[in-house]
Amino acid sequence: MKCMILNEGLRRLGTPYTFESPPLDVAVVSNIEIVVTCFECLLFLSVSSDNVISLTRQIKTSSSFWSICLKTPTQMVVSTSDDIRNVRMISVDGVETDFQHVEFPKKTYTLGEIFSTYVQSKNTLVLTDTLAHTVYVFDTVKGTSRAVTNGNIQQPRGACVGPGDTVMVCSEKMHVVHLTVDGDFLCTYPVDMKFPYRICVSRDGTRLAVSNCTVDNRKLQLYKILPTLNN
């Protein structure tokens, strides 16, 4: 029920923020602002120079959004629950819109069954379908799509943009799957945790953070991305 700032040694800095309802996901809007998805709302939090986090505003949403990432500096991409529009867009002012050239799977999902990320430079939307063991890749301009399945993708969860506009996806099999922006398989990276769940790459592409979802032995791990992975 808290949002906190951690340094590169994963030590807590400053003063955390305590939520009134469970937070679901977080995205960095700017150097001084973050946004968090909660039940049917978005919370915008400011981060001071001494790492104190405080609530600045709240936006009510039409449904519960789960994962969130930036599409542009003023617009975000969110995955939904109980909504046939699996992934939507919402502006920092709370205006919700839909992808016009994307045909999503013909089904609705409950919270935690799909995750999304967006590769800005490639206009590519990535959707992970946990129960179908599938990663969907959509070109939001051309309107084309691809469903990616292979033995390495088992109950995919969180996804993020990796080095060189690639895509990195958490898989239940204790590893991270690395894909091209077109969905081609590159490799897997083992992680020392059960059920890797959320993933994030630093802005400079040098560090990878992974967390898991287990009843016991919960972890947050930070990995160094070697320059060879960018080739």
Residues 116 and 39 placed together within one structural domain of the fold? no
Chain segment 32-82, per-residue pLDDT in tens: 999 999 999 999 999 999 999 999 999 999 999 999 999 999 999 999 999
Q: Is residue 65 part of a domain?
A: no
Percent of the chain with pLDDT over 90: 92
Q: What is the pLDDT of residue 230?
A: 45
Is residue 134 a part of any domain in this protein? yes
- Tens of pLDDT, residue by residue over 180-199, are 999 999 999 999 999 999 99
Nearest to 197 by CA among 151, 145, 146, 160: 160
Q: Are residues 89 and 166 in the same domain?
A: yes
- Alpha-carbon separation of residue 51 from 7, 23, 95 (angstroms): 10, 19, 29
- Statement to judge: residues 10 and 115 lie in one domain: no
- Residues 191 and 108 grouped into a single domain: yes
**Is the same domain home to 133 and 207?**
yes
CA 209, CA 201: separation in Å to the nearest integer?
6
The encoded tokens of residue 1 equal 């029920």
d(CA 193, CA 96): 36
60, 89, 107: which is the final residue of a domain? 60
What tokens were used for 199? 């993933």
Residue 67 domain flag:
no
Residues 99 and 180 in one domain: yes
pLDDT category at 17 given cuts 50, 70, 90 is very high
Q: Please report whether residue 136 resides in a domain.
A: yes
| pLDDT at residue 228, as a whole number | 61
pLDDT tens for 105-130 read 999 999 899 999 999 999 999 999 99
Domain-terminating residue out of 14, 31, 60: 60
User: In DSSP terms, which residues pair with 35 in a beta bridge?
Assistant: 27, 44
Report the pLDDT value the prediction gives residue 174, as an integer from 0 to 100: 87
CA end-to-end distance (rounded Å), the chain: 39
What DSSP element (H or E) covers 132?
none
Same domain, 87 and 56: no
pLDDT of residue 86 exceeding 80: yes
CA distances to 6, 51, 165 from 117, in Å? 23, 26, 12
- Strand-pair partners of 167: 161, 179
Helices within the chain (DSSP H only)? none
What span, in angstroms and rounded, lies between the C-alpha atoms of 99 and 44? 24
Residues 13 and 98 in one domain: no
Structural domain for 50, as ranges? 1-60
3-state percent helix, strand, coil for the chain, nearest multiple of 5: 5, 55, 45
- Shared-domain flag, residues 169 and 97: yes
Residue 226 confidence class, pLDDT cut points 50, 70, 90 = confident
The CA dihedral of 156, 203, 5, 69, to the nearest 10 degrees, is: -50
Given this model, what pLDDT does residue 201 score? 96
pLDDT at 231 over 90: no
Instruction: Please provide the average confidence, as pLDDT, over all residues in the chain.
Output: 94
Confirm whether 217 is domain-assigned.
yes
Would you state the pLDDT for residue 229?
Answer: 46
Q: Are residues 85 and 173 in the same domain?
A: yes
CATH number at residue 125: 2.130.10.10
User: How many CB atoms within 10 Å of residue 192?
Assistant: 11
Count Cβ atoms within 10 A of the Cβ of residue 117 and give its class: 0-12 exposed, 13-18 middle, 19 or more buried: buried
Number of helical H runs and strand E runs in the chain? 0, 21
Count up the domains in the chain and report the number.
Answer: 2
Establish if 66 belongs to a structural domain: no
Residue with tokens 């923020």: 17
**Whole-number pLDDT of residue 227:** 72
25 and 83 inside one domain: no
Q: Where are the alpha helices (DSSP H) in 47-161?
A: none
